[in-house]
Amino acid sequence: MPNTHSISKRTFLKTAGAGVLTSVLPTWRRAAHAAGDAYDLIVIGAGTAGMPAAIFAADRGARVLVIEKSPVLGGTLDRSGGQMSAAGTVFQKRKGIKDTPDAHFEDHMRINHWSSDPMVTRLFVDNAGESLNWLAANGFEVLDNHPVKGAGHEFFTTARYQWGKDNGKSILAVTEPLFRKAMAEGKIDLKLDTGAVDLVQDGTGAVVGVTAESDTGTLTDYMGKNVLLASGGCASNPRMFYDMHGVALASQVAYPYSQGAGFVLGQGAGGFLRYGEKYIGTFGGLLSDDNFPATLEGSFEHHPNIRPPWEIYVNANGERFMCEDNPSIDYRERSLLHQPGERMWVVADQDMIEKAPEWIPRWSKEKFMDSFGSHPMFAKAESLTALAAKVGIPGSMLAGTVKSYNASINEGLPDAFGRQHRPAQLKRGPFYAVRFTAWQLKSFAGLAIDAKLRVIRPDGSHIPGLFGAGEVIGGGATGGNAYTNGSMVTPAVTFGRLVGQRMAVFGT
Ligand SMILES: Cc1cc2nc3c(=O)[nH]c(=O)nc-3n(C[C@H](O)[C@H](O)[C@H](O)COP(=O)(O)OP(=O)(O)OC[C@H]3O[C@@H](n4cnc5c(N)ncnc54)[C@H](O)[C@@H]3O)c2cc1C
């Protein structure tokens, strides 16, 4: 049985946050046009997935309406790393890299411990190359040394990880002109500042339109033969994020309009949500405070190939819990996942503070040192017990942890966690601790879909006329319980493209 989640429209609309979705359900609607004059495709959300869907559908002669809640095009592409992974791209070919979707599939599943949805992953890797080649044919270019095997996340065995110089904006720089051209040719109608608030269904349950609310509060029914939910995830909606994943949203890094509207719409039409249990946090965030979602002010430089660690990491019990210089980012993320509150303290003594390289990229030494007197995540004390008291962890445990760490170095014994880089003991006060926490940029839960990207009901049957693409189908579906390279943007562009391109096939 899939793990399902449930949220009511009423709850969602009351708690959507950030004032993005504040309407009540429609009590009166104005029909934009007669049902017989329906659009071929209505796309909800003009972002990473929605724009390619509209472009491809328009290109093959469909009449397309795009409803976008925000005042602009692009969605999360304004801040996304835009890192993509695909096999068989022109960028690989010109570097002589041989690659196949099968090899991509194996590598992808290895990295996420076979936790992404195999059907969704297969659909993604089989079609990803064509998506990048389409972007390339329209002017998209990757960074000089790309494709690469990896960066920031676990490495592939083949160089298939690639992105543009302006990150997500490099993709928008290609899709926006294509989208606007189709608009100018009368193939796409666009409603900005307009949010989808309900789906119109006929007596059989088929989706036949969208109720949308303009920024002035006017409710309109738009009729459509097919509707694509491409409204993103819920990583800017703390209440929903918690309901879906059982985890507090530590920081709000995602697009403000990622409020989970598509989850509510899809579920209201008979669909269901799954994969929230695949959640895993991003390692080492420095939060402004404990008022979640807090501001993400920086990140600890934890990659041992860039900065071998001098300090030790301890959990809320004052214990070490991982090998600080393990080269696998997946190992580090997974180790923190199982700690109380997904938080850890990086602990150092005075010698380490003086000699070790900078902890937080782009922070000056002065700002870093001043923070020990002013920042709620920073603490300094003359003894380890006093330091522990300041940060709220058991003092005797911290003192014991440091004692055994020092003793193993002193006695030339192997480290309890297999750590290799142990340049110094923690001996000379004052002692220092900074708290780093797991943070989130995407949601893992999403609507269940089938191999034709149709939203499905709990019994496996599809809801006629309703499709999903992008984060609305869940980061857990495409990336699994891991940060698998390019597993959000690539499938978003790809699945949007497939829905637009194959509307005639999928629509049946
Ligand atoms: C900082 C950051 C970095 C990232 N880096 C990467 C990366 O390098 N590689 C990767 O693979 N993934 C990355 N991701 C994740 C990835 O960017 C997103 O998962 C992906 O862009 C989401 O695409 P989408 O089309 O589902 O949503 P979006 O691109 O967010 O589009 C959804 C659109 O729907 C609109 N909308 C919302 N509600 C409604 C409504 N009710 N009615 C109408 N419109 C609505 C929104 O305004 C938005 O324009 C990153 C995410 C973040 C936040």
Distance of CA 160 from the midpoint of ligand 1 (Å):
22
Distance of CA 441 from the midpoint of ligand 1 (Å):
10
Cβ(285)–Cβ(439) under 8 Å?
yes
What CA–CA distance (Å, rounded) separates 317 from 388?
10
pLDDT for position 30? 59
Does an H or E element contain 221, and which?
A: strand 219-223
> Which of 148, 489, 495 best tests ligand 1's pocket when mutated (most atoms within 8 Å of CB)?
489
pLDDT for position 37? 79
What CA–CA distance (Å, rounded) separates 274 from 474?
8
State if residue 76 touches ligand 1 by the CB under 6 angstroms criterion: yes
If you ran DSSP here, which 8-state letter would residue 338 be given? T
What CA–CA distance (Å, rounded) separates 468 from 492?
10
State if residue 470 touches ligand 1 by the CB under 6 angstroms criterion: yes
34 band by pLDDT with thresholds 50, 70 and 90: low
C-alpha dist (Å) from residue 79 to 127, 231, 261, 264: 24, 16, 20, 24
* Its pTM surpasses 0.85: yes
Nearest in space to 229 (alpha carbons), one of 258, 194, 203, 261: 261
pLDDT tens-digit readout, 450-459: 999 999 999 9
pLDDT mean over 411-426 = 98
pLDDT mean over 162-181 = 98
pLDDT mean over 42-50 = 98
- pLDDT above 90 (res 507): no
Beta bridge partners of 66: 43, 190
pLDDT mean over 4-15 = 44
- pLDDT above 80 (res 20): no
State if residue 70 touches ligand 1 by the CB under 6 angstroms criterion: yes
Interior/surface letters 445-458, b for 16+ CB within 10 angstroms, e for the rest? bbbbbbebbbbbee
Distance of CA 80 from the midpoint of ligand 1 (Å):
8
DSSP-derived 3-state class of residue 160 = coil
State if residue 172 touches ligand 1 by the CB under 6 angstroms criterion: no
Nearest in space to 175 (alpha carbons), one of 135, 234, 116: 135
Among protein residues, the one with the nearest Cα to ligand 1's atom 35 is 45
Within 8 A by CB and 6+ apart from 232, the residues are: 45, 47, 75, 76, 254, 255, 257, 258, 262, 470, 471, 472
pLDDT mean over 344-365 = 97
- pLDDT above 80 (res 153): yes
pLDDT tens-digit readout, 440-486: 999 999 999 999 999 999 999 999 999 999 999 999 999 999 999 99
Question: Which atom of ligand 1 is nearest the CA belonging to 75?
Answer: 49
Cβ(238)–Cβ(2) under 8 Å?
no
Q: Do the strands 41-44 and 227-229 form a parallel or antiparallel pair, or are they unpaired? A: parallel
State if residue 66 touches ligand 1 by the CB under 6 angstroms criterion: no
Cβ(104)–Cβ(125) under 8 Å?
yes
DSSP-derived 3-state class of residue 329 = helix
Domain residue ranges in the chain: 9-80+162-277+442-480+497-506, 282-439
State if residue 227 touches ligand 1 by the CB under 6 angstroms criterion: no
pLDDT tens-digit readout, 193-238: 999 999 999 999 999 999 999 999 999 999 999 999 999 999 999 9
Rg over CA atoms, the chain: 25
What CA–CA distance (Å, rounded) separates 149 from 153?
10
Distance of CA 391 from the midpoint of ligand 1 (Å):
36
State if residue 75 touches ligand 1 by the CB under 6 angstroms criterion: yes
φ, ψ for residue 181, nearest 5 deg: -65, -45
Interior/surface letters 168-185, b for 16+ CB within 10 angstroms, e for the rest? bbbbbbbbbebbeebbee
State if residue 257 touches ligand 1 by the CB under 6 angstroms criterion: yes
- Write the DSSP string, 178-189: HHHHHHHTTSEE
Nearest in space to 195 (alpha carbons), one of 19, 41, 58, 28: 19
Cβ(269)–Cβ(207) under 8 Å?
yes
Q: Does 9-80+162-277+442-480+497-506 carry CATH code 3.30.565.10?
A: no
Helix axes 118-137, 489-501, angle to 10 degrees: 80
pLDDT tens-digit readout, 274-310: 999 999 999 999 999 999 999 999 999 999 999 999 9
> Which of 190, 488, 494 best tests ligand 1's pocket when mutated (most atoms within 8 Å of CB)?
488
CATH number of 282-439: 3.90.700.10
End-to-end CA gap in the chain = 27
pLDDT for position 29? 54
What CA–CA distance (Å, rounded) separates 476 from 38?
34
State if residue 80 touches ligand 1 by the CB under 6 angstroms criterion: yes
Distance of CA 380 from the midpoint of ligand 1 (Å):
39
